[in-house]
Structure 1
Amino acid sequence: MRKTIFCLLVFCLILTGCQGKSDEPGVIARVNGQPVYLAQLEYQYDLNHEGSEDFVPSVEQVREEYRHILNDLIIQKLVMQELMERGIPVTSQDVKNAENTVREDYPDGAFEQTLIEEYINIDDWREQLRNQLGMDKFFKQVLRPEIKIDYKEAEEYYRKHLSDFYVPAGSRLLVVSGPSRDRVSHAVDSLMKGESPKIVASKLKQVRVRETWIRDGQYPTEWENEIHDLKVGEASQIMVKDRSVICLILKEKKEATLLTPSQAYPTVEKVLLDKKLDSAFNSWLTSKLKVSDIKISEHLLEKHTEKNVAKKKPSETVSE
């Protein structure tokens, strides 16, 4: 979807990009009169490159990425304006509720400390959160109610993509690993008695318990013999490799099978829904761009775009 949208916006830029002096410091675009600020671009750019301090991009690379980020910001602005026109804007309470949900994953004070350590301004973070909520609301409350999926469409998709619904044979395993036989053995005993992997791992220091699904024929060589004769609920012998002690517990074993149409329907529905949502969004955006007044700083336009703009009637000035 992004490629299509970006092409649409390039067309929009050719029509509405402008040159000249700025009318307000820090404004790099206007969407139906509403400003988009350079600070928003810089914030998103910094987020995209968090942890890549050693990377030194060229001026053109930065300019290109700024154009893509601006693309997203303009789309978000159009979406927020549409929600406002429909009387279903993202409210301050919506943002507060979403923020509280995020904060629940952090101990007291840790959320603010994390933002400080990552040099993230809380107001910029909240603005991004508001935009994300806006996009979610637009898809769920504006586009989704208009989309219908006929059962015949689902059946046709299922028939044409049968290979996508073939589930190969394999096993679901608990992999218990630790620094010593005693600890791993203790963990396995607890798991076999019904304790949850999370509780077992919390009780026993340096012991890890993870669940994995492995297709037949893709087991590590050293696991093959141990798994081959295991029955569901049984544990393998303890194995030692590279100073790590491992034991496997077989939780489930499945033969190869083809999902029935009813079993595959949730997946088919999601695929068809995603395609129709993309199409509906692109259609909405195409129409919106035709009636929107979008002006963008010349420094973010392609050179050929600037030439095309110069041939057209000059438009109102926008800041650089």
Structure 2
Amino acid sequence: MKRILIGILLACFLIGGCQNKSEEPGIIARVNGKPIYLSQLDYKYDLTHEGSSGFVPSVAQVRGEYGQILGDLIVQELVSQELEQREIPVSDKEMKEAEDEVRSDYPDDSFEQILIEEYIDINSWRSQLKYQLAMDKFYRDILRPEIKIDYKEAEKYYRTHLSDFYMPAGYRFIMVKGMGKDLVLKGVELYREGLSPAAISAKLRKVSVREIWIRSGQIPAAWKTFVEDLEPGKASPVITQKKEVFCLILKEKKEATLLTPLQAYPMVEKVLLEKKLEEKFEAWLKNKMATSNIKISKNLMPELENTVPEVESPETAKAE
């Protein structure tokens, strides 16, 4: 999909044009008349670069990233419009349920507090959440029912990709990391109580929780004495290594094995399904772009160079 999207968007950029003087300020594109705002672009750009303070990108890098983000927004808008046309848009109820699910990972009013601290506008966050729900719904309710996976196709994939289903021996750990021993132990306690990693990080701002997989024979030497005798579900003592303080909870210990066709089927089905969904989506997107009216402000158009390849542009794609 990315290959097709880049080609089509480049075609849109190449057409050129000028900004309509009567256009509402802040609008940087229109998809079949529906506006896309600069604020949406800025929001996704800021999310992409969250945590990368101190890095100053070049003008060319910013233009390139803005172009890619704009492409994503155009696709998301086309998907939303498709759901509207089919009379199955993302409902207010679906939005509320999704937002409530996110909020449930954060105790009390910490969700709003985090948004404030990260300078995230709640309306921009909700707008992007709605786009994501629309994409999920489009794949689930429109594309997925059209796809069938034959057992012979699955068997053939298994036989030709046998090495993919060899599972090496290894350990799956939950790593609880913090600024000190007491914080780490509190994080372990909250994890055992069933709190999600996001909720623990919200409650204990200096603690992070994540899952890691380490193959047998690759466990760091400094960890071996702490984890070699661990049983699943048990936690290591608090480990201090350089400036890091953490604890490891053994979630699973696996022996090397080759999955049988029956055991591998869910993995095979997932791979084949993703491939077919991508093909279906690319076909839909190519047709949709060719029949849509997409206008892009020239203020977002990169300076064209002689090295830019020629791309056949959709007849209805235009730049303002």
Fold in common (TM above 0.5): yes
> Could you tell which deviates more after superposition, 122-131 or 254-263?
254-263
Cross-structure match for 2:22: 23
Distance 1:215 1:103 in 2: 35
Q: Which portions of structure 1, spanning 4 or more consecutive aligned residues, are displaced by more than 4 angstroms?
A: 171-180, 199-202, 208-213, 222-228, 230-254, 305-309, 312-317
Distance 2:177 2:316 in 1: 68
2:198 is the alignment partner of 1:198: no
Secondary structure at 1:35 match in 2: strand
Post-superposition CA distance 1:187-228 (Å, at most 9, x none): 9xxxxxxx99725999xxxxx999865433223346668887
Cross-structure match for 2:112: 112
Aligned pairs for 1:192-271 (under 5 A) are 198=192, 214-221=214-221, 254-271=254-271
Distance 1:297 1:234 in 2: 56
In structure 2, give the amino acid aligned to 1:57. P
Distance 1:44 1:223 in 2: 39
Distance 2:235 2:122 in 1: 50
Distance 1:43 1:100 in 2: 21
Cross-structure match for 2:203: none
2:145 is the alignment partner of 1:145: yes
Aligned pairs for 1:1-320 (under 5 A) are 1-14=1-14, 17-24=16-23, 25-171=25-171, 198=192, 214-221=214-221, 254-304=254-304, 318=320
Distance 2:315 2:239 in 1: 75
1:12/1:289 contact within 8 Å kept? no
Post-superposition CA distance 1:161-198 (Å, at most 9, x none): 11110012345678999999xx9xxx9xxxxxxx9972
Secondary structure at 1:295 match in 2: strand
Distance 1:239 1:49 in 2: 33
Deviation at 1:282, TM superposition (A): 0.7
Deviation at 1:5, TM superposition (A): 1.9
Deviation at 1:116, TM superposition (A): 1.2
Secondary structure at 1:279 match in 2: helix
Secondary structure at 1:303 match in 2: coil
Post-superposition CA distance 1:14-73 (Å, at most 9, x none): 45x532433322111111111111111112222222232312222222221111111011
In structure 2, give the amino acid aligned to 1:27. I
Secondary structure at 2:119 match in 1: coil
Give me the identity figure in percent.
54
Distance 2:209 2:301 in 1: 52
- Name which structure has the greater RCO, CA cutoff 8 Å, separation 6+: 1
Deviation at 1:249, TM superposition (A): 8.8
In structure 2, give the amino acid aligned to 1:19. C
Distance 2:111 2:190 in 1: 29
> Could you tell which deviates more after superposition, 30-39 or 295-304?
295-304
Secondary structure at 1:217 match in 2: coil
Distance 2:89 2:233 in 1: 55
Secondary structure at 2:137 match in 1: helix
1:144/1:277 contact within 8 Å kept? yes
Q: 1:37 to 1:161 in 2, by over 3 A?
A: same
Q: 1:49 to 1:22 in 2, by over 3 A?
A: farther
Distance 2:59 2:175 in 1: 48
Q: How many residues align?
A: 299
RMSD in angstroms over aligned alpha carbons? 4.3
Cross-structure match for 2:204: none
Deviation at 1:242, TM superposition (A): 5.6
Distance 1:220 1:315 in 2: 55
1:18/1:315 contact within 8 Å kept? no
Q: 1:291 to 1:31 in 2, by over 3 A?
A: same
Distance 1:233 1:301 in 2: 55
Structure ID, larger Rg:
1
> Could you tell which deviates more after superposition, 133-142 or 93-102?
93-102
> Could you tell which deviates more after superposition, 68-77 or 235-244?
235-244
2:168/2:215 contact within 8 Å kept? yes
In structure 1, give the amino acid aligned to 2:17. C
Deviation at 1:246, TM superposition (A): 10
In structure 2, give the amino acid aligned to 1:162. L
